[in-house]
Structures are given as C-alpha cells and as structure tokens.
Structure 1
Amino acid sequence: MKNQGNVWNIICGSVDSSVLKCTIELGILDTIYNSSKPMTLSSLASTSPSLSTLKTENLYRLLRYLSHMNLIAINSVEGSDEDTFSLTGISELLLSSQERSLKDWVLAIDEEHSINGWHELSDYCLSADDAPTPFVKLHGKTIWELAEEVPEINGLINNAMACDTKMVMPAFVQGCGSILNGVKKLVDIGGGIGAAMSYVVKAYPGIQCMAFDLPHVVAAAPEIPGVEMVGGNMFEFIPPADALLLKFMLHNWNDDECIKLLKRCKETIPADHGKVIIIEMVLYQDEDDDYLTRARLNLDLDMMLSSGGKERTNDEWRILLEEAGFKKIEFIPIFAIQSVIVAYP
C-alpha cells in the first residue's frame, strides 16, 4: 500500500504547487499570521474578505491539505467541537511580511507561462539539440523577449528574482565577506532591479556598485542609493570592474553561451587581481539532504524547459570555467540552496 501511495502522490504532484498558489492568492497564511493566535474555521472565514466568499467546506478541505504539506497545523481544543489552525515554521517562508519570503516566486508560476511547458517534456526530450525550448514553442519567443513586451511578465520575473535575492544575499554577505575585501567596483551582470547590490552597498559602502541588465529591466528598477543602474546586452558589452557578480543567471544558458559570456567576463576584469563571483546551485553537494537535492533537480528540469539552460555539478562548473580560461576556481558553501563559486583569471 505504501508503494501505491507513493505513486499516487507522484501522479498528483502538480496539486501541491496549485494549492500553494491558491493559498497565497487567498491570503490564508497571512490571515492566520496576523491574528497572532490559532484560528477556528469560522473566525478565519470571517476575518478575511477573500475567504468569506468561500464555501466553509472548501476552505476546510484546503486547510486539511495544507496540513499534509506541513504548512498548517490542525489543533484539537479540549471542550470544543471546533479545531484551530496555526502556522508551522515552514509557512513563515511564504508570508508577505517576512523579508526572506518565497511568496513572489510562487506567484510567478502560472498555467500559461510556466506549467503548460511541462506538458511538452516528452517531445522536447526526443527533439534535436537545436530544437526550440517548450517555452519558445508555446509563445514564439524567449522568456526575456516576452518580458520586454509584457510589463506584467517583467514584473513577475523581477519580483521572483528579488525574492531569491532576499534569501541568498544575506547568506552571501555573512559567509563570503572576505571575497569582497579590496574590491573597489562590483558589477552585477544580469542584476535585475538592483536588489542584490542593495545588500552589498549596505554592508560595504566603500564599494562602487552597479547593476547591469537589459534596458526594459533597468527601466522598472527603483532608485537605490549607492547603486548605479545601467542597461545593455551582456553578450555584447560588460562594464569594466575589478569584480563581477553573476547571481542565479548562468543556469539560464547552455554551455556554449556560458563559455562565451565567461570569456567576455575574463577579458573585462584585471588579470592580476580581478575575480568573477558566481552564485549558483551545485548539484549533489549535499547528498545527505534529499530535499535540497530534489529542489535543485526540479529547477534543473525547469531550466531545460523554459530557457534551455541547466543546473550543474561541481565538475561541470569546473570544466565550464576552465574552458573559459580561468586558472583558479574556488567553491564556497553558504546557508542557501545556492553556493558561491569564485573564478580567478
């Protein structure tokens, strides 16, 4: 029976992400958190306008499923027929009020632009090397081209990337500060709306910080004191600096594109003291942590379908960087799903 249950859970795997998005959109977790105490079903429904329109039975069924996702705890109350509902530690990573929240990443997942591509997985695995990704097949353009044309998509992507930044940059600043010692200018290549640089400039105000990304991305960026925003195409030009940051960006590209970009980075930084700082996942670095390994493998397949990129192992990163001409490579684990890779010319 256990094997049957495991297979059924795999078959229904997409239910988790759909329920999670619904939960965020309805504000269930935020409502319970804001109450500062466990809530009954009736109080939960009456507190939030969005929840008051739901059938009580449907709300309960959602809560019951969330308890099996370990996002909600159902508590029996002595002397009462009504259970109460409270948050678990995991659900704190999905609250609007928490700085390190993955809420915006959840909202970036939608049927039209993300989920439908998974239905093309079989065909794409059987296709030629130069076949368009399922995303391009469905939309007729890359995700970056679509974001340039559709402000809503651009906003979803920017918010999701900023969401990831809030998780990883505190860990980077705390665990890798020595890497930035002596750096006078740092440019974040593919730096989005400057979120990553906001952490660096706060911790190291003496470093001249720049975020470099496509013009339509930079145009949507807020003003961040101490961070210069510059628009351009990284495959055509990279602003000179003694250190370059590539955060959660190289996994969007195949090996040939990464090597081309990394060679350009190597040409840009000083040969005697320059460095390229990469923040990316390293597959199988925590073989005893099945949750992290599976999360990284999930994102590897997502990259394959959406952009044609990939997540890489330690050896694959080393081969890629050596092919681009870097002589010294350093891997540094941090308290995040990503690791830090430092490459020296």
Structure 2
Amino acid sequence: MATSEQMEAYSQFWSLTLGFAAPFALKAAVKLDIFNIVSKFSSEQGATLDEIIQELRIKHDADSIQAERLFRLLRFLVFKKVLALNGARYGLTPMSRLLVSHGSSSDVFVGGILSFCTSEVTQRSWQHVDAAIKRPGDSNAFVEAHGMEPQDYVAAHPEFWKVIEDFRLSISTATSATITRVYDGFKSVKRLVDVGGDTGSFLAQIVRLYPHIQAVNFDLPRVIANAPAYPGVENVPGDAMDFVPPGDGIFLKSFLHMFADADAAKIVKNCHSALESDGKIIICDMVMDEGKELHLQLDMMFLSGSQRYQRTKAGWKNLLESCGFGSVRFFEADPFSITEAIKN
C-alpha cells in the first residue's frame, strides 16, 4: 500500500509532467483568437460561451464549433486565472490582456514570446538537453536538435526569422514598459548607444519618453541592414567585440548573457573605452536569483537552446568592476532587471 508521502509525490509528478498544458492551452486560445473576441465585449459583462462560439464561427468561417471542447479549454484558462468567469460570462484578466493583439486593451502584447516558446523548432531543442550536457566543447541543445547554430538555422529557414522577430519585439515592448517604471536613469543621458539593439524598437520607445536623447542603434551589419528608420534613432553597423560607438550612456539589453566571462569582459571594456568620463553602462538582463522559480525556468529555456550565461548580483558586480566600472546598482524587475554602473 502506498504511503501518503508516495501518493503526494505521485500527484506532484503528474502536475510537473503535465506542465506543458498551460502554454499550449494559451497557444490554442491565441490561434482561435479567443482573447481578441472576449475583448470586444464590455469589460464589465464579458462574453458568454454562446457568444464566443458565434464569433468563432464568423472568424473562422466554421459552421460547427465543438462547444464541449471549447468549454474545457475555457475552464482550464479560468482555473489558471488567464480568464475570469463571472456567472456565465468570460472576461479578461491582466494576464489575458497581454495577449490581446488589437485595440487599446494593453500597450503590451506578448504573443511573440508564446509563439517562440511553443514553436516546433524550440520544442525540438528541449528533447536534446541531455545530449548537450554529455557533449564536450561548445555543443548545445539547439545544435544537437537541428545540426546547426540558431543563426545558421534562420538563414536556411527564413520563415523562422519572423518567429524570432516577433519574440524580440514582444520582449522589447514588455521590457521597456517594465524598466521605465523602476529606472529613471535615462533622463540624464544625452547620447545613448544601444549595443545589440536589433531593429532599434526599444530606443524608439526611449526617445519618445526622453526626446532630448540622441540615440544610436548599434548591431551587426546584417541586422542593421534590415533595421527600420525611427525618428531620433541613428543606425550604426559594427561588432561590439571590436568597438562601441561613443556616448555618455551605453545600454545592453538581453545581450551579455550570450557571452562567457572572457568575451563579455571584452565587450564591457569596449563600452568603458567608448564612454565619456563618468558615463554610465546600463544593462537590462536577468540577475539570477536561485530562489525564484521564474529565473530557474528561464535558465532551463536557455539551456534548451544555445548556450547562455546567467549571472547573479555578485557575478555582474565582478564583471563590471573588473572592467573599470564602479558604483554598481541594481533595479529589480522580473524577469529582467537593470544593472547600472559608472565609469571610473
């Protein structure tokens, strides 16, 4: 006979093993357009199951919508607090407002993050974490799964580039909305260089908030070649391993975690050389807290892809101080915090 401890462990095992249900339920709801449909109804009243079914029939040109299956999906989303249920009406919650892609329900849309994390390409990499652990050298789970590095895979499968672009845009939009609430250090910067700035979308948002800033979007030539023109943002091609354009503020968002300490130090030293006296480096990246489940989950996501290097507060402080920076300060926000340091 099983002990109570074994029975509890068995229940926990099932819950852990079926953890994939939540992201794929979200994906199904997004593909069905449920969150946009619910957003059309009064926020006080919400939409009934029959009203959602009617909208789905119109949206997908489908005569038959499986009401019982839809109900089960909605029931799960209510349990997860993605949707609210008031009587017989389904309404949005702060979580589901992040997945409304039109209208003014939210300034932030995170659908690109969901699409990337649940894509077949990404999911395939999870199957090879064990191989990446066993292999020597620079092999990683993505290479084990697909036979090539992510940048080479994208070149061979350009359709996946759109998934990555949407992923980056979602992160950029959500991150900018978060960090500008916890950090106001941009207001003292005159010339801000975004190292690894991708399309420049984040800088465009910063310039809208702080119009006095002269902004420089700095990334590899192949990235800058496809970067749109944003008002107040200059696109500059180059490699941060070689040089960084000058400024009194240098910003790195979700960038340094791609590099081991030696290469990260080379980039940070180039930032130090490019900064004016008393200039600041501003890093937006995860400050690893091993007591937070979200941080451990993100670390596993990185482990399932190409190699990433997560640093604790001590790790970031050591890296920056070894490269000539001081007065290191942390401004916490999950999952990506701000680390600021001043050039000595």
How far apart in 2 are the matches of 1:199 and 1:25? 28
Q: Does 1:339 align with 2:337?
A: yes
Structure 1 position 309, deviation (Å): 0.7
Q: Does 1:158 align with 2:168?
A: no
CA distance 1:147–1:324, change in 2 (3 Å): farther
Q: Which residue of 2 aligns with 1:71?
A: 82
Q: Does 1:50 align with 2:60?
A: yes
Alignment of 1:189-208 (within 5 A): 189-208=195-214
Structure 1 position 148, deviation (Å): 4.4
Contact 1:304 1:310 in 2 (8 A): no
Structure 1 position 174, deviation (Å): 4.1
Instruction: Indicate the larger mover: 115-124 or 42-51.
Output: 42-51
Contact 2:38 2:52 in 1 (8 A): yes
Name stretches of at least 5 consecutive residues in structure 2 with no aligned partner: 1-6
Structure 1 position 31, deviation (Å): 0.7
Q: Which residue of 2 aligns with 1:284?
A: 289
Output one character per residue of 1:20-54: Cα deviation in whole Å (capped at 9) or x when no partner: 11211211111111122322222211112238454
CA distance 1:212–1:147, change in 2 (3 Å): farther
Opposite residue 77 of structure 2, the aligned amino acid is L
| RMSD of equivalent CA atoms | 2.3
Aligned identity (percent) is: 29
Opposite residue 112 of structure 1, the aligned amino acid is E
Q: Which residue of 2 aligns with 1:79?
A: none
Structure 1 position 116, deviation (Å): 1.2
Alignment of 1:78-227 (within 5 A): 83-97=88-102, 98-128=106-136, 130-181=137-188, 183-227=189-233
What TM-score do you get using the length of structure 2 for normalisation? 0.87
How far apart in 2 are the matches of 1:221 and 1:155? 14
Q: Which residue of 2 aligns with 1:62?
A: 73
How far apart in 2 are the matches of 1:9 and 1:310? 29
CA distance 1:179–1:41, change in 2 (3 Å): closer
Output one character per residue of 1:210-240: Cα deviation in whole Å (capped at 9) or x when no partner: 1112333333333211111223332233222
Instruction: Indicate the larger mover: 254-263 or 242-251.
Output: 254-263
CA distance 1:91–1:111, change in 2 (3 Å): closer
How far apart in 1 are the matches of 2:269 and 2:152? 24
Structure 1 position 246, deviation (Å): 0.2
How far apart in 2 are the matches of 1:141 and 1:260? 26
SS in 2 for 1:284: coil
How far apart in 1 are the matches of 2:330 and 2:231? 31
Output one character per residue of 1:290-309: Cα deviation in whole Å (capped at 9) or x when no partner: xxx21221111222232201
How far apart in 2 are the matches of 1:162 and 1:193? 9
Opposite residue 331 of structure 1, the aligned amino acid is F
Opposite residue 199 of structure 1, the aligned amino acid is Q
How far apart in 2 are the matches of 1:240 and 1:322? 20
SS in 1 for 2:304: helix
Instruction: Indicate the larger mover: 87-96 or 146-155.
Output: 146-155
How far apart in 1 are the matches of 2:65 and 2:21? 19
CA distance 1:176–1:131, change in 2 (3 Å): closer
Contact 1:211 1:230 in 2 (8 A): yes
Structure 1 position 185, deviation (Å): 1.2
Structure 1 position 7, deviation (Å): 1.8
Opposite residue 155 of structure 1, the aligned amino acid is K
SS in 2 for 1:85: strand
Name stretches of at least 5 consecutive residues in structure 1 with no aligned partner: 77-82, 288-292
Output one character per residue of 1:143-200: Cα deviation in whole Å (capped at 9) or x when no partner: 233334544322222222221222222343344324541x221111111111110122
Opposite residue 321 of structure 2, the aligned amino acid is E
Q: Which residue of 2 aligns with 1:21?
A: 27
Contact 1:44 1:51 in 2 (8 A): no
Structure 1 position 280, deviation (Å): 1.2
CA distance 1:299–1:13, change in 2 (3 Å): same
SS in 1 for 2:284: strand
CA distance 1:268–1:149, change in 2 (3 Å): farther
Output one character per residue of 1:249-272: Cα deviation in whole Å (capped at 9) or x when no partner: 2222322332222122222223x2
CA distance 1:50–1:237, change in 2 (3 Å): farther
Contact 2:128 2:144 in 1 (8 A): no
Output one character per residue of 1:92-117: Cα deviation in whole Å (capped at 9) or x when no partner: 12211322121121112244321111
Contact 1:282 1:338 in 2 (8 A): yes
CA distance 1:168–1:297, change in 2 (3 Å): same
